[in-house]
Amino acid sequence: MTTIYDIAKLAGTSKSTVSRVVSGNGYVSKEKRENVLKAMHNLNYIPNQTARNLSQQKSNTLGFLVSDYFPLIGEFTSVFIQVARRKGYNVNLYYTQDKQGERNALDLMATKVLDGIFLMTRNNSWSVIESYKAFGPLATWHRVTLPGVYSAYVDHYPIYTMILKRLTKHGYQRIGHVFSSLRDANTQARLQALKDFSRDCPRVEVKWQKHFKKQAMAGEIAAQQWLQAKQPPQAVICYSDYVAAEFIATLRDAGKKVPEDCLVIGTDNSQIAKLVGFPTVDLCFREQAQNSFNYLYNQLHNEKLPITRLNPQWVDWGRFSDLKK
Amino acid sequence: MTTIYDIAKLAGTSKSTVSRVVSGNGYVSKEKRENVLKAMHNLNYIPNQTARNLSQQKSNTLGFLVSDYFPLIGEFTSVFIQVARRKGYNVNLYYTQDKQGERNALDLMATKVLDGIFLMTRNNSWSVIESYKAFGPLATWHRVTLPGVYSAYVDHYPIYTMILKRLTKHGYQRIGHVFSSLRDANTQARLQALKDFSRDCPRVEVKWQKHFKKQAMAGEIAAQQWLQAKQPPQAVICYSDYVAAEFIATLRDAGKKVPEDCLVIGTDNSQIAKLVGFPTVDLCFREQAQNSFNYLYNQLHNEKLPITRLNPQWVDWGRFSDLKK
DNA sequence: ATGAAAGCGCTAACAT
DNA sequence: ATGTTAGCGCTTTCAT
């Protein structure tokens, strides 16, 4: 491996000068700079990032933590990674299935192997996670209000209200719900929206409600329960597109027609919604990824990259135009 | 940040001894070890991976390079990352859209920021890529035969033949094809299979063939062409599940029935195939991810983790049972 | 403007 | 079994 020392020798100068031209910090005469550049080129020099990181106590890499894979992860990470790349940041992906694994990843901030961390999903309690704030900036996809943690959330209350009203307006009298974990703040917001809605429209039947902690199998199990219900809901709102897609696939397998027998709605605006063809709500996950990165970057550089306001939208690919407005 | 030096001081010993207990290399008396352990615990010691990497000239991290995101990437990376994790490896994801970006990532092997690299898709020519072999092991998803590059491919010839025979047996007389780039070795294998098949079964019409270099929009464009054809094929085989899904969505949008009007087949066995509900072929991408990691690991450690033989399977979720056998 | 030298935290001979 | 020492490659003060 060729090092700055080799370059220095060949260019007839010192390590310091070479370091200056490589990093672009400090003054160096035109003449010396050219010699160094020439030497770098001749020796095929590639700077050692590890040495640099050790010396500077930073790595220009962010950690992306998630517990299980679900399809939205792929889309979300891809925008996060590409946004980070443009600002010179790498990202390490960690699938941390347990508390300890997650802590190990968080620990990496202490030594600046990771400069900052985004948590898509988590294993440890928020108080544990928050304590890592001392090591570097933290952002998350969860809806939480903690002084030290940026949350890229969007309020589900108005969105859920909007969906409920729209369905009611179009004649749906029995509306079912597939929620994620009860402890989740988004679930709470949805439940509140549902409660308030029921007060206004008591005649709409909304009792069919299911809860799942994991996305895997949630849609399938919920669909099984739909199939066994005596009076199944005519429309079901799912907490994620993936769950909605699984729900639909299971109903169709059982010979049901979607959306005729049951209209199923997701809330991610992921590719899957478009492909399977069901209405969904764009909760702006792409902008959330962008905002999250910007937050971490701003913390790290004392800059002011913009954090944009999110503007959720109903999305139906023009296929459910009768549902519009 | 607390370092081994701090621990040494507190435990009344030397850095070396601390290093020995932390890394688990070398002898250290029970007594000293306990002192060190105690000190580590009291000071909340977290080893500095960067320093370790610099000293050992390795990082225990692999690079995963891909040019554009497409849905299978998410699934593929998630198994690759989790498999790597079990062996103590991290993985950095790079979306390299151009030649230079890809070279930058490959360069990282020179300084062992990356110990090895997997290329899902590539930008540079194989000869350029192969030259990086000098820095560390290389694996790819592409089908290539290069001395220094492991290819996790599976031969598409027998698979394509199998699909064609099966369709013919069930009465399909006009079979369409959506291929990826002509230069791709898998496409070549499929074309050869098609050619040989046509010799045996000249009466099956197979002229409807489309080629696409990018997955984005491929399915949609192909479907538009299907819709405009005077005599469109009764079955279409797509080179990826994602393309198949897009093809189906577009046909359905146009009021066509799938599979009644046109049977569409994918070849990834991704989650999307199951959710949209079309037959596909399991080309064992999960095992390919596993094999690729194992190869890289074996190169790095002179070990013999098994490289399993792949066994592609027709997959139809029991929904197309009339197509079976 | 440039060079010398100390240091980032850890590892690994080598010596005892 | 343990300590001393010389790196790993680069950055950054501090002189000059």
pLDDT in tens, A34-58: 999 999 999 999 999 999 999 999 9
- pLDDT, chain B, mean: 94
Q: In this structure, is residue B304 part of a structural domain? A: yes
Across the range B299-316, mean pLDDT stands at 93
Nearest CA in chain A to B103: A46
Q: Are residues B183 and B89 in the same domain?
A: no
pLDDT band at B323 (very low <50, low <70, confident <90, very high): low
Q: What's the CA A16/C1' C4 distance, rounded, in angstroms?
A: 9
pLDDT at position B316, please?
A: 84
CB–CB contact A275 B248 (8 Å): yes
**Lowest-pLDDT range of A210-219, B127-136, B315-324:** B315-324
pLDDT at position B325, please?
A: 44
Q: In this structure, is residue B324 part of a structural domain? A: no
Alpha-carbon gap, residue A299 to A135, rounded angstroms: 12
Q: In this structure, is residue B320 part of a structural domain? A: no
Q: In this structure, is residue A323 part of a structural domain? A: no
**Lowest-pLDDT range of A12-16, B70-74, B229-233, B296-300:** B70-74
pLDDT at position A325, please?
A: 44
What's the predicted TM-score (pTM) here? 0.94
Q: Are residues A144 and A184 in the same domain?
A: no
Across the range B285-290, mean pLDDT stands at 97
CB–CB contact A95 B81 (8 Å): yes
Within 8 A by CB and 6+ apart from A131, the residues are: none
Q: In this structure, is residue B84 part of a structural domain? A: yes
What burial class does residue A321 get, using C-beta atoms within 10 Å of its C-beta: 0-12 exposed, 13-18 middle, 19+ buried?
exposed
pLDDT in tens, B207-248: 999 999 988 899 999 999 999 999 999 999 999 999 999 999
pLDDT at position A26, please?
A: 86
Q: In this structure, is residue B20 part of a structural domain? A: yes
Checking B316-323 for CB contacts under 8 A at 24+ apart, the result is: B316/B279, B316/B280, B317/A253, B317/B274, B317/B277, B317/B279, B319/A253, B319/B277, B319/B279, B320/B259, B320/B279, B322/B170, B323/B166, B323/B170, B323/B279
Nucleotide nearest to A6 (CA to C1'): D9
Tally of domains within chain B: 3
Q: Are residues B296 and B150 in the same domain?
A: yes
Q: Which amino acid is at B1?
A: M
Q: Are residues A173 and A279 in the same domain?
A: yes
Q: Are residues B50 and B188 in the same domain?
A: no
Q: What angle do CA B177, B181, B185 make, to 5 degrees?
A: 95
Strand C neighbours among B 2-61, CB < 7 A: 3-5, 15-16, 19, 22-23, 25, 47-48, 51-52, 54-56
Nearest CA in chain B to A45: B110
Output phi, psi for A102, to 5 deg: -65, -40
CB–CB contact B50 A50 (8 Å): yes
Q: Are residues A179 and A230 in the same domain?
A: yes
CA quadruple B227, B228, B230, B234: dihedral, nearest 10: -20
Q: Is the CB of A29 under 7 A from strand C?
A: yes
Residue indicated by tokens 């050869």: B192
Alpha-carbon gap, residue A214 to A231, rounded angstroms: 26
pLDDT in tens, A256-314: 999 999 999 999 999 999 999 999 999 999 999 999 999 999 999 989 999 999 999 99
Alpha-carbon gap, residue A251 to A245, rounded angstroms: 10
Q: What's the CA A16/C1' D15 distance, rounded, in angstroms?
A: 14
CB–CB contact A94 B111 (8 Å): no
Question: Residue B92 in 3-state DSSP?
Answer: strand
Structure tokens at B76: 């593929």
Q: What's the CA B16/C1' D5 distance, rounded, in angstroms?
A: 11
Return the sign of the alpha-carbon dihedral for residues A227, A229, A230, A235: negative
Nearest to B50 among A78, A111, A275 (CB): A111
pLDDT at A86 over 80: yes
Structure tokens at A34: 């050219």
Q: Are residues A184 and A241 in the same domain?
A: yes
Checking A303-310 for CB contacts under 8 A at 24+ apart, the result is: A310/A154, A310/A283, A310/A284
CB–CB contact A75 B91 (8 Å): no
Query: Is A131 an interface residue toward B (CB < 8 Å)?
Result: no
CB–CB contact B92 A91 (8 Å): yes
Checking B291-294 for CB contacts under 8 A at 24+ apart, the result is: B291/B152, B292/B80, B292/B118, B292/B139, B292/B140, B292/B141, B292/B150, B292/B152, B293/B62, B293/B80, B293/B83, B293/B84, B293/B87, B293/B89, B293/B118
Q: Which candidate, A34, A43, A57, places its Cα nearest to that of A109?
A: A57
CA quadruple B166, B169, B174, B178: dihedral, nearest 10: 0
Q: What's the CA B287/C1' C9 distance, rounded, in angstroms?
A: 39
pLDDT at A321 over 70: no
Q: Are residues B214 and B299 in the same domain?
A: no
pLDDT at A322 over 80: no
pLDDT at position B322, please?
A: 65
Q: In this structure, is residue B33 part of a structural domain? A: yes
Distance from CA of A76 to the nearest CA of B (A): 10
Q: Are residues A288 and A237 in the same domain?
A: no
Query: Is B115 an interface residue toward A (CB < 8 Å)?
Result: no
Query: Is A276 an interface residue toward B (CB < 8 Å)?
Result: yes
Residues of chain A neighbouring B103 (CB-CB closer than 8 A): none
How distant is the alpha carbon of residue A84 from its chain centre? 13
Across the range B45-65, mean pLDDT stands at 97
Contact B266, B238 (CB under 8 A): yes
Alpha-carbon gap, residue B325 to B317, rounded angstroms: 14
CATH number for the domain that contains residue B93? 3.40.50.2300
Q: What's the CA A86/C1' C9 distance, rounded, in angstroms?
A: 30
Query: Is B81 an interface residue toward A (CB < 8 Å)?
Result: yes
Q: Are residues B35 and B179 in the same domain?
A: no
Choice between B271 and B175, residue whose per-residue pLDDT is larger: B175
Q: Are residues B103 and B146 in the same domain?
A: yes
Q: How far from each other are the two terminal CA atoms of chain B, in whole angstroms?
A: 65
pLDDT in tens, B110-126: 999 999 999 999 999 99
CB–CB contact B94 A85 (8 Å): yes
Q: Are residues A135 and A200 in the same domain?
A: no
- The H or E element spanning position A198 is helix A185-200
Output phi, psi for A178, to 5 deg: -115, 110
Q: In this structure, is residue B4 part of a structural domain? A: yes
Last residue of a domain, one of A13, A28, A57: A57
What burial class does residue B105 get, using C-beta atoms within 10 Å of its C-beta: 0-12 exposed, 13-18 middle, 19+ buried?
buried
CB under 7 Å from strand D: A 1, 3-5, 15-16, 19-20, 22-23, 25-26, 47-48, 51-52, 54-56; B 12-17, 20, 26-29, 31-33, 51, 54-55, 57, 111
Across the range B10-25, mean pLDDT stands at 94
Most B CBs within 10 A among A75, A113, A278, A321, hence the mutation to make, goes to A113
Q: What's the CA B34/C1' C5 distance, rounded, in angstroms?
A: 37
Last residue of a domain, one of A246, A266, A283: A283
Domain that holds residue B175: 156-283
CB–CB contact A111 B46 (8 Å): yes
Q: What's the CA A29/C1' C1 distance, rounded, in angstroms?
A: 7
What nucleotides of chain C have any atom within 7 angstroms of a protein Cβ? 1-5, 7-13
